[in-house]
Amino acid sequence: MKPLQVGITGGIGSGKSLVCKIFNALGVPSYDADSRAKSVMTTDGILVEQIKKEFGTLSYDASGVPDRKYLAAAVFNNPQKLAKLNELVHPRVVLDYAQWLGSQANVKYVLKEAALLVESGSYKELDYLVLVSASVETRIARVLGRDAHRTRQDVEAIITNQSTEETKLQQADFVIHNNNDTLLIPQVVALHQKFSALPH
């Protein structure tokens, strides 16, 4: 029997990964689509060739690792190029996720964590969508504290490229508030109890 599939989304710095770690501590497996996408871009031969063809051989260094700076510069202020890169990567991640899901027997539900679940439309393939919500200022402060290589301008540009909180709220079934003024663990535990009790 296939487990229920629960999406975890939210803008950069909202605390998706932390929420997933709490669920993991409760025994729930999670698939981090963003880090898996990075892995697939290195290990999936078909995708590697597609990216080189579209963005040039400089997209990868001599050891076969994607040159993230080069790719980021190529897509950063170019919505068409960014859409093209997502078009190439997305189907391969979908395939990777399907294989991972097939290996998750005997669990009640799994999590799929991704920043762009709403933007890509892939939330429609899941049973429920949880939005991790935090104010823009809180998120910017978190990212600047975490990522030494990013400037405030970088983070604001990423936030601009992601869909608004309002758009995500319209699609979300549940919201976890992570503004540092509400305890996270009780919110996650309450959702865990809810998902564990749901019929397949």
- pLDDT tens, position by position, 83-142: 899 899 988 999 999 999 999 988 999 999 998 889 888 899 999 999 999 999 999 999
pLDDT at 77: 78
Q: For the packed helices 45-55 and 68-75, what is the interaxial angle rounded to 10 degrees?
A: 50
Give percent of the chain above pLDDT 90: 70
- Report pLDDT digits (tens) over 95-107: 999 999 999 988 9
Domain spans of the chain, in order of start: 4-29+104-197, 36-88
- Please state, in angstroms and rounded to a whole number, the distance separating the CA atoms of residues 57 and 24: 38
pLDDT of 90 reads: 86
Residue 159 pLDDT level (bands cut at 50, 70, 90): confident
- Name the more confident of 26 and 166: 26
Instruction: Provide the strand spans (E) within 10-145.
Output: 30-32, 109-113, 128-133
The CATH H-level superfamily of 4-29+104-197 is: P-loop containing nucleotide triphosphate hydrolases (3.40.50.300)
Whether residue 165 has pLDDT greater than 90? no
pLDDT at 1 over 80: no
Rounded CA separation 175/41 (Å) = 31
Q: Quick one: average pLDDT of 1-11? A: 93
User: What pTM was computed for the model?
Assistant: 0.86
- Per cent of the chain over pLDDT 70 is 100
65-95 burial, b at 16+ Cβ within 10 Å, e below that, comes to ebbeeebeebbeeeeeebebbbebbbebbee
For residue 200, what pLDDT is reported? 67
